[in-house]
Each structure stands twice: as C-alpha cells, then as structure tokens.
Amino acid sequence: MKKIYFLFIALAITSLTFGQELLLNGNFETWTDASTPESWTKIENVAQESTETHSGSFSAKQTGDGTKDLGQTITGITPGNSYTISMWYKVESGDDTDARIWSYWKDGSDANINDNAAELRGPNNSYFDNNGNQWTEYSVTVTAPATAAGFYFEVRTYGSAVVYWDDFSFFQEAGAVPTLSVTTPSNGELVAGPDVNVEISVQNFVVGNAGAGIDGHIHYSVDGGSVVMKYDTDPISLTGLTDGTHTLDLELVDNSHQPLASPVTASVSFDVTSTTQVANITALRAGTVGEFYELTGEAIISYIATSSSRNQKFIQDEGAGILIDDTSGTLSTAFNNGDGITGLKGQLTEFANTLQFVPSENVASASSTGNTLTPIVVSASELINNGEAYESRLITLNNVTFEDSGIFESGTNYNVADGADVTIARVAFGDEDLVGSAIPTGAASITGLGGQYNDDYQIFPRYASDIAPPLSVNNFNANTFSLYPNPTNTGFVSITSRNSEAISVQVFDILGKQVKNETLTNNTLNVANLKSGVYIVKITQNNTSTTKKLVIK
C-alpha cells in the first residue's frame, strides 16, 4: 500500500513539474497515405518525403499553388501557462516570401485571439528567411492569454515554392514558473522614434510595491545605463532615443531587490529611426520601404475591407492611393467609408509588390466625414501598362468583357478584355453582395480599387453595383433632363426629359454603392428612405446615360 501511495505522489509531482508535448505527429513519422500525415486536420498540397528530412524517416513536402496550408487544432490550453513552439523548415525554391507560420490562440467559442501576432504569424509577423536552402529552426516561447482555451497551429507555403517541414513541437512548459518577456517591439525590429513604448508580459509572479501577496518587482536598464525600478507591468515609456540600435535589459527581483534563486531575465534590441513627414500619398509612395512616415495631409477612406482580419483600409487623396494594413489593430478608432484621416503615422511596407502603410499610432478621430470620391476612368491598356499610378485608388474600366460566365465567387480572378488588352478583375472582398451575383455576358463597366499582385495589375470591384452596363459614348447633355428639387428635403425628386420613353434610375452613395435601382412610371423618384447626404444619380433612357449629383437634406 505504501508503494502504491508513493507511486501516486510521484506521478502527481511529475505532472506538475515537467512539461508536455501537445502537438500530435509533429515529426511526420506517421502517414495514413502518401499525402495525409496523421492527426493533421488541414492538409493542402502535402506529400510524404523520405529523402529531404531534418530527422527521422519522413518530412512533409508542401508545394505552393497560391496559398497552401498545413494545420492542426490543439485543445486544453491553460491561460497564463508558457508554451514553446518550434519547427524546422527548408525552402527549396522561392524569393523569401514563400513560407511562414500562421497560427492563432482560440477562445472558448473557437474565435481567433490576436495576442502574440508577431510570433504566431512571424517571425516579427513576416516570412521565414529562405536561409540559402538550408534546414532552419524557428522557436519561440509565448504565454497563453487570459481567454485562451485552444490553439490552432498552422504553416503556409505561398506562390509556387516548395517547402519541407519537419520536427514541429508545441510544448507546454512546467507550470508555476515565473516568466518575463517583451511582447513589443520584437528583437531586431525597426521602430519609429524618438519615443518608444515597450510592452512586457509577466506570468506567475505578482509585481508591485512590497506588501502582502507581492512577489517583487522589475529592474531594467537601457543600453547598459543605470538601473530603473518598476513596480507595475504597464508599458515602459522610453523617450528621446537617438536613431540606431538600443538594448533594454530586464530582470525580476524579490522585495529586497535581489535576483530570484533561478534568475528570470529578458532582453530586447531594436533599431530606432526618425519619422519623416510627407504632405501627400504621392510623396509617401515615393518613400523607402521599411522607413517610418507621417502623412500630414488629409487622406480619404475609399473602402474598409471588413472581410479581412487585417483591419485593412484603402485611402487616397487627389494624387494617389495606398492600402493601410493593420494586423495589430493599432488604428482602433471606428472609421467609416468617406471619412478623412489626417496625421497618420506608420511604416511603409510592401507585399507582393503592393505598397502598404502599417500604422504605428492610432488617430483619435476623423478629420472630416461624408467625402465624395469620383473614380478615375482608365482603359485596360492603361491599367496593364501604368498600373502603379492607380494602385489602391478608385478606378473604372469601361466597355470590357468578362471571359468567364456564371456567378462571381470570393477570392477568384476573372480575365476581362478590352479588345486585345486583357487584365484581371479579382473578387477580393468575400462579404459583399458581389459574391453570388451574375457575371455579365456582354460589355460592362467595372468600378473598383486598383490593385497589384506580383507583376499583375488588377481591379477589385466591391459591390454588385460596381459591375454595370458600359457608359454610353453618346451621353445625355446635362440640359436634356431635369432633376428637382435639388437639394431636397421632401422625400422625393422629379426627373423629366425631352421625350416620353421609360427612364431607368440608379442611385449611388458617395463611395459608389448602389442604394436604389428602379424604372420610373410617373417621373417621381422616392428618396424618403435615404439618409441626408450627397448621392450620384445615373439616369438611362434609350440606351444612353448621364449622371447628376443629388443632395438630400
């Protein structure tokens, strides 16, 4: 009986003292068939590999075809516990934008938690370095956030690259061990100066002034300078940093300012750079990728991509446009389409040849609201040959023909032709009404955002109303019809022309979304359900069209 009791105690101590591997078949030694590693739940373009391995008999060979995933869901996560993620990879071909980890913490309802984005979609929220086609390890220790109940482990292969994956691990570290880490900035990250906020994470250790229930506090120093005592876990505000590399060293100490019996330290080195002011987006686009800028002039939001988890917004001014890519949610103010933004600060980046602006600070409020943006009419030839000028701006391609038929599907490219010139219309926004609408069988005009993916310039239509009959060459003269009263506060307007043929009317809001489409029988258009603001009214009669601004008070 004593032996059994002793064994039970030993097992209990073991379970509390030692960590545990939670990832199944992370070494890819077990396969259901040559394309299905056991225990993995999302498997795309994967093949069993026996020649190119990091260890053991097999690895997983993944071939890109766009974006291909390999993923597994892990349950039983304990908030506050530390977990070490490690993996080995080898990129056989590609251009340093071909492989990355793409993982998330999950809450109890299986929703994504964005904590640790820099490590879980990284490193530094970026691609793995190809490292000269050598086996390379990525390893990081993270702490499960307070609402975490699970973890989704995923890697991705992009483009046409070939990547070998092996020896994956998701290891739960022993519990109740104090941990100290810097969550932002990341090691080696370029940050805007001269003032930098350093966010830290402390687990299993109560920080505060000496007293009941307090374990101790934090000592830190910058660039080897004097020690600063910190009695909370709020971000550390470093001010007046010069351009160049700076190092922050931290350590947990007890209430007598002494290091713990097993020292707990953290360190981060980051590069500070000055922020350059630019007056407009044209000057911003002419900047250096990786540098920080402040856009002092006003930019207007042309479209908020609600289907994206990256808090993306397209903005433009009179001369150019750019895409805001904000995975970390820095731009937390609730903006609307048509809002103006002034004083936007961030870093100029690039993805697949598309320039992006990653905010480094929030903007408290819109500098204006209800702005109207008029799309630029361009030819397919102009988009193909000079697409950089229209990237992330509202444009219209007129009199083009889709080479496909059926209905529009999310995340799909469609060739559109204007004579011998063929460009791409991509359905990039999966939560809009364009998805499921019919592809035109004849000539059409397409309104959307200019885009680029690698060497291909494209247009991203947003709504079903962005795909319309082509604008007539023989548009009405403005004097051939009347629209009154304008402005109106009566709930209706009258539309008359010089003949009695049927009049078709489409009404669009300031950002081009169709809000009315009807044929008039009594020359009266009911606008009582429309909010106050500025609208564009397109009037069609006898296969010719014209547009006019309508103001509703």
* DSSP string across 367-378: SB-S---PPEEE
- pLDDT, residue 15, reads 39
192 pLDDT higher than 50? yes
Express each pLDDT in 280-325 by its tens digit: 999 999 999 999 999 999 999 999 999 877 899 999 998 999 999 9
Distance CA 72, CA 154 (A): 6
Q: Could you tell me if 454 and 506 lie in one domain? A: no
224 pLDDT higher than 80? yes
Average pLDDT over residues 161-172: 95
Among 116, 118, 107, residue whose Cα is nearest residue 151: 107
473: in domain: no
Please provide residue 268's backbone torsions phi and psi, each rounded to the nearest 5 degrees.
Answer: -145, 135
Q: Is-contact 383 447, C-beta < 8 A? A: no
Q: Is-contact 499 524, C-beta < 8 A? A: no
Express each pLDDT in 2-61 by its tens digit: 444 444 434 433 434 457 899 999 999 999 999 999 999 999 999 999 999 999 999 999
Q: Could you tell me if 408 and 283 lie in one domain? A: no
Distance CA 107, CA 150 (A): 6
4: in domain: no
- pLDDT above 90: percentage of residues in the chain: 64
Residues 6+ apart with CB under 8 A from 415: 402, 403, 404, 422, 423, 424, 425
Write down the residue that tokens 């939560």 correspond to: 431
Distance CA 343, CA 335 (A): 15
Please provide residue 26's backbone torsions phi and psi, each rounded to the nearest 5 degrees.
Answer: -70, -15
The domain that holds 256 is classified in CATH as 2.60.40.10
487 pLDDT higher than 80? yes
Cα 504 → chain centroid: 40
The domain that holds 519 is classified in CATH as 2.60.40.3080
366: in domain: no
3: in domain: no
338: in domain: yes
Q: Which residues pair with 355 in a beta bridge?
A: 350
DSSP code for 109: T
Name the 3-class secondary structure at 330: coil
The CA–CA distances, whole Å, from 225 to 193, 246, 399 equal 19, 11, 67
Distance CA 49, CA 419 (A): 47
Distance CA 268, CA 278 (A): 30
Q: Could you tell me if 41 and 92 lie in one domain? A: yes
Q: Could you tell me if 126 and 36 lie in one domain? A: yes
Among 517, 516, 518, 525, residue whose Cα is nearest residue 481: 525
Q: Could you tell me if 166 and 46 lie in one domain? A: yes
Write down the residue that tokens 């499921």 correspond to: 436
93 pLDDT higher than 90? no
Q: Could you tell me if 144 and 27 lie in one domain? A: yes
Average pLDDT over residues 143-172: 93
Q: Is-contact 392 303, C-beta < 8 A? A: no
Distance CA 79, CA 74 (A): 14
- pLDDT, residue 474, reads 43
Q: Could you tell me if 80 and 161 lie in one domain? A: yes
Average pLDDT over residues 247-257: 97
Q: Could you tell me if 57 and 156 lie in one domain? A: yes
- pLDDT, residue 219, reads 98
Q: Is-contact 406 364, C-beta < 8 A? A: no
The domain that holds 391 is classified in CATH as 2.40.50.140
Q: Is-contact 432 413, C-beta < 8 A? A: no
526: in domain: yes
230 pLDDT higher than 90? yes
pTM flag (> 0.85): no
Q: Which residues pair with 277 in a beta bridge?
A: 294
Express each pLDDT in 466-481 by its tens digit: 998 875 444 444 446 7
The domain that holds 163 is classified in CATH as 2.60.120.260
Distance CA 417, CA 402 (A): 6
- pLDDT, residue 477, reads 46
Q: Could you tell me if 411 and 300 lie in one domain? A: no
Positive or negative, the CA dihedral 490, 491, 493, 494 is negative
Number of neighbours of residue 307 by Cβ within 10 angstroms: 14
53: in domain: yes
Domain boundary among 242, 273, 304: 273
Burial class of 443 by CB neighbour count within 10 A (0 to 12, 13 to 18, 19+):
middle
Q: Could you tell me if 127 and 218 lie in one domain? A: no
Write down the residue that tokens 């630029």 correspond to: 376
Burial class of 149 by CB neighbour count within 10 A (0 to 12, 13 to 18, 19+):
middle
- pLDDT, residue 2, reads 41
Mean pLDDT over each residue of the chain, to the nearest integer: 89
Confidence of residue 87 (pLDDT cuts 50, 70, 90): very high
Q: In terms of residue numbers, what domain contains 51?
A: 19-172
DSSP code for 390: G
Express each pLDDT in 490-540 by its tens digit: 888 988 877 777 888 888 876 667 888 888 878 889 999 998 888 888 888
Q: In 64-213, where do the E strands start and end?
A: 66-75, 82-93, 99-101, 104-106, 112-113, 136-143, 150-159, 162-172, 179-184, 190-192, 196-203
Residues 6+ apart with CB under 8 A from 90: 52, 54, 133, 134, 135, 136, 163, 164
Domain boundary among 468, 501, 535: 468
Write down the residue that tokens 């709930």 correspond to: 491
Average pLDDT over residues 404-420: 94
Write down the residue that tokens 């006003």 correspond to: 298
Confidence of residue 120 (pLDDT cuts 50, 70, 90): very high
Q: Could you tell me if 244 and 288 lie in one domain? A: no
370: in domain: no
The CA–CA distances, whole Å, from 49 to 33, 161, 164, 278, 475 equal 12, 16, 8, 51, 63
Name the 3-class secondary structure at 355: strand
Query: Side by side, which strands form the sheet with 503-508?
Result: 514-520, 503-508, 533-541, 544-552
Q: Is-contact 61 54, C-beta < 8 A? A: no
Q: Could you tell me if 402 and 524 lie in one domain? A: no
Domain boundary among 448, 468, 488: 468
Q: Is-contact 207 220, C-beta < 8 A? A: no
- pLDDT, residue 3, reads 43
Q: Which residues pair with 37 in a beta bridge?
A: 31
Number of domains in the chain: 5
